[in-house]
Amino acid sequence: MNTLTQENKKEVTEKVSDKENHQSARVYSPNVDVLETEEDLLFRVEMPGVDQSSVEISIEKDQLILEGKFLPPPEARGQVRLAEYREGNYFRKFSIGKAIHSDKAIAKMKNGILELTIPKMEPKKTKIEIQK
Protein backbone atom coordinates (compact mmCIF):
# COMPACT_ATOMS: atom_id res chain seq x y z
CA MET A 1 0.00 0.00 0.00
CA ASN A 2 2.90 2.40 0.68
CA THR A 3 4.03 4.07 -2.51
CA LEU A 4 6.60 6.43 -1.01
CA THR A 5 9.63 6.41 -3.25
CA GLN A 6 12.78 8.43 -3.70
CA GLU A 7 10.98 10.23 -6.56
CA ASN A 8 8.17 11.25 -4.17
CA LYS A 9 10.72 12.59 -1.68
CA LYS A 10 12.51 14.48 -4.44
CA GLU A 11 9.21 15.94 -5.68
CA VAL A 12 8.30 17.19 -2.21
CA THR A 13 11.78 18.61 -1.57
CA GLU A 14 11.64 20.49 -4.87
CA LYS A 15 8.12 21.75 -4.10
CA VAL A 16 9.23 23.00 -0.69
CA SER A 17 12.37 24.51 -2.19
CA ASP A 18 10.35 26.50 -4.72
CA LYS A 19 8.10 27.85 -1.98
CA GLU A 20 10.99 28.87 0.26
CA ASN A 21 13.27 30.62 -2.24
CA HIS A 22 15.24 27.52 -3.16
CA GLN A 23 16.13 26.58 0.43
CA SER A 24 16.14 22.83 0.79
CA ALA A 25 14.02 21.43 3.63
CA ARG A 26 14.24 18.00 5.18
CA VAL A 27 11.50 15.53 4.31
CA TYR A 28 10.57 12.99 6.97
CA SER A 29 8.58 9.83 6.36
CA PRO A 30 6.24 9.52 9.35
CA ASN A 31 5.33 6.16 10.88
CA VAL A 32 1.85 5.10 9.81
CA ASP A 33 -0.54 2.37 10.93
CA VAL A 34 -3.29 1.48 8.45
CA LEU A 35 -6.30 -0.46 9.69
CA GLU A 36 -9.10 -1.71 7.47
CA THR A 37 -12.57 -2.74 8.58
CA GLU A 38 -15.60 -3.61 6.50
CA GLU A 39 -16.78 0.00 6.81
CA ASP A 40 -13.66 2.14 6.55
CA LEU A 41 -9.91 2.70 6.35
CA LEU A 42 -8.16 4.20 9.39
CA PHE A 43 -4.75 5.86 9.12
CA ARG A 44 -2.78 6.72 12.27
CA VAL A 45 0.13 8.98 11.38
CA GLU A 46 2.90 10.12 13.77
CA MET A 47 3.77 13.76 13.22
CA PRO A 48 5.42 14.93 16.46
CA GLY A 49 5.57 18.68 16.85
CA VAL A 50 3.22 19.38 13.94
CA ASP A 51 0.31 21.72 14.57
CA GLN A 52 -2.97 20.67 12.97
CA SER A 53 -3.03 23.93 10.96
CA SER A 54 0.20 22.75 9.27
CA VAL A 55 -1.27 19.44 8.06
CA GLU A 56 -2.55 18.96 4.51
CA ILE A 57 -4.53 15.90 3.47
CA SER A 58 -5.56 15.38 -0.13
CA ILE A 59 -7.05 12.59 -2.18
CA GLU A 60 -6.46 12.73 -5.92
CA LYS A 61 -7.82 9.89 -8.01
CA ASP A 62 -6.69 6.84 -6.00
CA GLN A 63 -3.81 8.55 -4.15
CA LEU A 64 -3.92 9.69 -0.52
CA ILE A 65 -1.31 12.37 0.20
CA LEU A 66 -0.42 13.32 3.78
CA GLU A 67 1.80 16.33 4.43
CA GLY A 68 2.76 18.23 7.57
CA LYS A 69 5.22 21.01 8.35
CA PHE A 70 7.30 20.96 11.53
CA LEU A 71 8.79 24.15 12.95
CA PRO A 72 10.76 23.67 16.16
CA PRO A 73 9.95 26.21 18.87
CA PRO A 74 12.46 29.01 19.35
CA GLU A 75 14.65 28.41 22.38
CA ALA A 76 14.16 31.19 24.94
CA ARG A 77 16.47 29.75 27.59
CA GLY A 78 20.14 29.00 27.20
CA GLN A 79 22.27 28.03 24.26
CA VAL A 80 21.34 24.96 22.23
CA ARG A 81 23.93 22.20 22.72
CA LEU A 82 22.11 19.42 20.83
CA ALA A 83 19.21 19.79 18.42
CA GLU A 84 17.79 16.62 16.87
CA TYR A 85 14.42 18.10 15.99
CA ARG A 86 14.93 20.14 12.87
CA GLU A 87 12.63 22.10 10.65
CA GLY A 88 11.21 19.96 7.89
CA ASN A 89 8.18 18.36 6.34
CA TYR A 90 6.42 15.06 6.77
CA PHE A 91 5.23 13.33 3.61
CA ARG A 92 3.56 10.00 2.83
CA LYS A 93 1.63 8.85 -0.21
CA PHE A 94 -0.65 5.82 -0.46
CA SER A 95 -2.63 4.10 -3.21
CA ILE A 96 -6.07 3.55 -1.70
CA GLY A 97 -8.31 2.56 -4.60
CA LYS A 98 -11.39 4.39 -5.78
CA ALA A 99 -14.05 2.66 -3.65
CA ILE A 100 -14.07 5.26 -0.87
CA HIS A 101 -16.20 8.22 0.19
CA SER A 102 -13.48 10.89 0.26
CA ASP A 103 -16.06 13.61 0.94
CA LYS A 104 -17.02 11.86 4.21
CA ALA A 105 -13.46 11.50 5.54
CA ILE A 106 -12.83 12.61 9.13
CA ALA A 107 -9.44 13.81 10.37
CA LYS A 108 -8.44 14.45 13.99
CA MET A 109 -5.10 15.51 15.43
CA LYS A 110 -4.13 14.91 19.06
CA ASN A 111 -0.71 14.73 20.74
CA GLY A 112 1.14 14.60 17.42
CA ILE A 113 -0.97 11.72 16.05
CA LEU A 114 -3.18 12.30 13.03
CA GLU A 115 -6.15 9.94 12.78
CA LEU A 116 -7.82 9.85 9.40
CA THR A 117 -10.94 7.76 8.85
CA ILE A 118 -12.16 7.26 5.28
CA PRO A 119 -15.45 5.38 4.78
CA LYS A 120 -15.45 2.70 2.09
CA MET A 121 -18.18 2.40 -0.53
CA GLU A 122 -20.20 -0.76 -0.65
CA PRO A 123 -19.43 -2.65 -3.81
CA LYS A 124 -22.24 -2.30 -6.30
CA LYS A 125 -23.84 -5.65 -7.00
CA THR A 126 -25.47 -6.19 -10.33
CA LYS A 127 -27.26 -9.31 -11.37
CA ILE A 128 -27.20 -9.96 -15.10
CA GLU A 129 -29.94 -12.06 -16.55
CA ILE A 130 -29.10 -14.50 -19.31
CA GLN A 131 -31.24 -13.95 -22.36
CA LYS A 132 -33.03 -16.88 -23.97
- Distance of alpha carbon 73 from alpha carbon 101, whole angstroms: 37
Mean predicted lDDT score pLDDT of the chain: 81
Q: 63-70 and 88-95: which strand pairing?
A: antiparallel
- Distance of alpha carbon 119 from alpha carbon 61, whole angstroms: 16
Percent above pLDDT 90 for the chain: 43
* CATH assignment at residue 53: 2.60.40.790
- Structural domain span for residue 37: 6-73+87-119
**Residue pLDDT, tens place only, 69-90:** 988 777 767 787 887 777 889 9
In a domain, 132, yes or no: no
Q: How many domains does the chain have?
A: 1
Q: Which of 16-20, 51-55, 57-61, 123-127 has the lowest mean pLDDT?
A: 16-20
pLDDT at site 78? 77
pTM of the model: 0.70
